[in-house]
Amino acid sequence: SYTSTLALDFGTYFWRVQSKDKLGNWGGWSQTFSFDLTLHASPASGSSTTNPRPAFKWNAWTGAIAYDFQLDDAPDFTTLVGQYTGTARSYTPPVPLNGGLYYWRVRVDVGSGFGAWMPAWTVTVSPATPGKPKLVAPKNNALTNDNTPMLTWQAAAGASTYQVQIDDDGAFGSPQQDVIVGVGLLNYIASELPDSTYAWRVRGLNAVGGPGSWSTPRTFTVDTTPPDVPTLITPLDGASS
């Protein structure tokens, strides 16, 4: 382990490690990790919320006389959708935010003016997640000789698009096909499938890609192999009676 002997400023830092043996031979560098030194508390960077008025919170800093907060829907912070300067350590937008990706950041004044901005965090404000779609066709346990079957389902409330998975494993551990269909479509024509039994399921995605619950899965079997040629037994060819 290592503890820095210097007081680090707020920002993003990268670190890595290499080892040396008893003979003084150095190994290669490890992979590089990064961390943010920040007062940001919540919502966590990269998170998503269905609350259109999330509370942005940051931690206290010893000696701080004021905090400056900015919220924007672009990383350059040129067209702010929220701003606060004062002693409080939270900000809640006064009006609901539109769905989308937002960036937020904080800086501190310890008596000599505001310092540098901390690394921006992001949060996605998502509409409510969609309802659960109901599968229509093919029927459960269907048998078909069409190796590109059309799958159809009913619309789910709040869904803009749909994700479809087809797998020969009912646990959907490694889907053979995993696609997002076009906006408003309620069907998907499968790419060519080898003869086998498949499970399939669908879930809705809202306007910013937030997923709802998966449908109850169904199965179908593709069988395009014709039966063997029959072997005639009796009467024998050319026999007379």
Look at residue 4 in the predicted model and tell me its pLDDT: 77
- pLDDT tens digits along 70-104: 999 999 999 999 999 999 999 999 999 988 899 99
Sheet arrangement for strand 66-72 = 47-49, 121-125, 100-109, 66-72, 80-86
pLDDT value, residue 171: 94
pLDDT tens-digit readout, 18-64: 998 998 999 999 998 877 778 899 999 999 888 999 999 999 998 99
| Cα–Cα distance for residue pair 38/58, rounded to 1 Å | 9
Per-residue model confidence as pLDDT tens digits over 164-221: 999 999 999 999 999 999 998 999 999 999 999 999 999 999 887 888 999 999 999 9
Do 154 and 183 contact (CB within 8 A), yes or no?
no
Cα-based angle 105, 106, 112 (whole degrees, multiple of 5)? 145
